[in-house]
Amino acid sequence: MHPPDVRQALSRPGYLLSPWPWRAAAYLLTGAAGGAVVLAALAVWAVASGVLAIALVGLPLLAALPFAGLPVAALERRRLRWVDPAPAPTAHAEPSAPGVRAWLTVRLRDRATWRELAHTLLTAGLLWPAEALVLAVALVLPLAMTATPLLLATVGGGREVKVAKLWTVTGQGPAFGSAALGVLLLAAGAYAVGAAAGARAALTRRLVCPRDGGPEARVVELTRSRARLVDAFEAERRRIERDLHDGAQQRLVALSMALGLARLDAPPGTRLAEQLARAHDEAGAALAELRELIHGIHPKVLADHGLAAALADTADRSPVPVDVECELPGERLPQAVEAAAHFAVREALANVARHSGAHRARVRAALHEGRLLVLEVADDGRGGADRARGTGLTGLADRVSVLDGTLSVTSPTGGPTLLRVEIPCEPMQTPTRTPTETGTDEDPDWDEGCASSSPRTASSSATG
């Protein structure tokens, strides 16, 4: 439960004797002073950008204007604690990749950046004069009236004094009456200052930091937690693949070699030789199944060489001849995107082999405008694929939707069938690794260009 804020304190009997009026006044005073400074800074910024734009030097300054709200919003989130102690989280999304370019891209697309810019312009143009006016009317004028007897004795020589340069008070009686009225107005002004500070804080929270637990904050946190779960899931799949590859598979290889050597030493035609041969064959079959299992969990070719090579490898394993076309950049895509894309193509080709009766299939992968990965899997089969009649396509759609992607299927009766997957993403700022850099000898003749393939003979390792 959050601590009380200034708006809640206004309804309590001891408000005037609490620190809240002082905190509210300090909040409005710093807001008015800060708004004036922001107005001056924006004016200097605009003038400098306009003057320097003649020599093209001011264009970067002008382009950086949307980021002017970031430091102001950060300061506002700190100032909120004076009148609203509730948590004030930022609503900005975190970049998916390191580097200045990724940060700038995310900030320019983030709605929070534009809300903070609007808040900054509102502060510089309207809010700080309003705060200064509230302070002048609610506090400065009542304080001047309260000090009328003192001013009359010191400045007016005991005869007359002008209060706040608005009206003249003559004599001690009117001076003390003005002071009494000033005390009453000061008490009422303290409530007015608290109400104004509460309204100002509510507007600030609305623009620069959604209240913790609100719908927008929950959506942001849900999106971030879903992305973290996807990354953790893919990291766990890679760990399992690595442990099986470096542990159980190596032990099976050693066992198969030991059984092979034992077969050479066993007398031919004996019962021992037959048992060793059978055990050797079983070890070889277990090793082959383990390799297929490892490939299905997280293919090493995907981790080492990227999506293009993994799609070519998947096409090679399909019993249906597959033509592959890739228009992917040299940079690697995010790991979660590559894994989901490879899984979608692998499952689609497995369904083609099992249910379509197709003679040939086609896989196409392209990155549109550097922001959208589009995958298409088409076949010349009998058609009739329906997401409502099985869990395969539903599972594919669920996995793609985790990355804000979409899946669509066009499959009229009689064919052809076209499955289309779209996943928003951006290439990572790291070059694609080569077999030499990864130190692996698996799939040495992978084709990064994904040229058209020949008829396939190996079966797919995908599951239903």
The reply to whether 137 and 45 lie within a common domain is yes
State the pLDDT at residue 333: 84
- 222 falls within a domain: no
CATH classification at residue 390: 3.30.565.10
Lowest mean pLDDT among 118-127, 211-220, 248-257, 264-273: 211-220
Verify that 144 and 200 share a domain, yes or no.
Answer: yes
Q: Give the residue carrying structure tokens 């050479």.
A: 264
274 in any annotated domain: yes
Q: Is the pLDDT of residue 443 over 50?
A: no
Shared-domain flag, residues 207 and 263: no
| Claim to verify: residue 404 and residue 460 sit in the same structural domain | yes
Same domain, 32 and 148: yes
In this structure, the answer to whether residues 43 and 98 fall within a common structural domain is yes
DSSP 155: T
Query: Minimum mean pLDDT among 136-150, 196-210, 240-254, 430-444: which range?
Result: 430-444
| Same-domain status, 27 and 84 | yes
Is the pLDDT confidence value at 167 over 90?
A: no
Residue-range definition of the domain harbouring residue 293: 230-298
Please list the residues that pair with 366 across neighbouring strands. Answer: 327, 374
Most confidently predicted of 94-108, 152-166, 356-370:
356-370
Q: What percent of the chain has pLDDT over 70?
A: 78
Question: Collapsing DSSP states into helix, strand and coil, what is residue 95?
Answer: coil
Average pLDDT over residues 375-392: 77
More confident residue, 146 or 445: 146
Query: 47-92: per-residue pLDDT in tens?
Result: 887 777 776 766 777 778 888 888 998 899 889 888 988 877 777 7
Alpha-carbon distance of 359 to 381, in angstroms, equals 7
Query: Are 37 and 157 members of one domain?
Result: yes
Predicted confidence (pLDDT) at residue 141 exceeds the cutoff of 80: yes
pLDDT at 231: 62
- Mean pLDDT score across all residues of the chain: 77
- The pLDDT confidence band at residue 148, using thresholds 50, 70 and 90, is confident
pLDDT for residue 29:
93
pLDDT band of residue 274 (cuts 50, 70, 90) is confident
The number of folded domains in the chain is 3
Considering the domain architecture, whether residues 309 and 247 belong to the same structural domain is answered as no
| Dist CA 461 CA 456 (whole Å) | 13
Segment 226-240 shows an average pLDDT of 63
Residue 261: how many other CB atoms lie within 10 Å: 12
**Are 292 and 309 found together in one domain?**
no
The per-residue pLDDT for 444 is 36
Query: What is the model's pLDDT at position 364?
Result: 92
- Of 120 and 370, the structure prediction assigns the larger pLDDT to 120
Report yes or no on 223 lying in a domain: no
Angle between helices 111-122 and 20-52 in degrees, nearest 10: 100
Last residue of a domain, one of 185, 212, 239: 212
Q: Could you give the CA distance from residue 176 to residue 220 in angstroms, rounded to a whole number?
A: 58
Mean pLDDT to the nearest integer, 106-116:
85
**How far is it, in rounded angstroms, from Cα 20 to Cα 211?**
21
Residue 224 domain-assigned (yes or no): no
Please tell me the least confidently modeled range out of 24-33, 167-176, 253-262, 431-440: 431-440
Say which range, 208-212, 219-223, 312-316, 392-396, has the weakest mean pLDDT: 219-223
- Report residue 440's pLDDT band, with 50, 70 and 90 as the boundaries: very low
Between CA 190 and CA 422 the distance in angstroms is 58
Considering the domain architecture, whether residues 114 and 126 belong to the same structural domain is answered as: yes
pLDDT of residue 297: 63
**Is 180's pLDDT higher than 80?**
yes
Looking at the fold, whether 208 and 262 belong to one and the same domain comes out as no
In order, the DSSP letters of 319-357 are: SS-EEEEEE--SBPPPHHHHHHHHHHHHHHHHHIIIII-
Comparing 225 with 248, the larger pLDDT belongs to 248
Confidence of residue 310 (pLDDT cuts 50, 70, 90): confident
Confidence of residue 453 (pLDDT cuts 50, 70, 90): very low
Residue range 100-116: average pLDDT?
84
Q: What is the pLDDT of residue 442?
A: 40
pLDDT at 416: 86
Q: Is it the case that residue 414 has pLDDT exceeding 60?
A: yes
